[in-house]
Amino acid sequence: MHSIVTVTGPDHTGIIAGVTTTLAAHDVNVVDSSQTIMDTWFTMILRVEIPDDSPGIAALEDVLAATGREQNVSIRVQAEELFSAVNDL
């Protein structure tokens, strides 16, 4: 299942490492990515593939929320279809 992970917050060293380490620990593969830094604000969008036998998006979002707190960033996970529908308006 493909999903979209969005990460936003103040820029600092280690955000990408923290997020991708968490994803890899849960066998989530990054298939596409985009990031930018505007002044001191970090934004990253990842298209990820979640294994079929995983607990699902909600469980992944809970795990990433802990990473977000550690990194002082906001992390959201959405089904790709929902993300596309909301952002294609």
Q: Where are the domains of the chain?
A: 2-87
Which pLDDT band, with edges at 50, 70 and 90, does 83 fall under? low
CATH code linked to domain 2-87:
3.30.70.260
The model's pLDDT over 13-58, given as tens digits with 9 standing for 90+, comes to 999 999 999 999 999 999 999 999 999 999 999 999 999 888 889 9
Helix-strand-coil split of the chain, %, nearest 5: 40, 40, 25
Contacts of 49 (CB under 8 A, 6+ apart): 1, 2, 28, 29, 31
Name the H helices within 1-89: 15-25, 57-71, 80-87
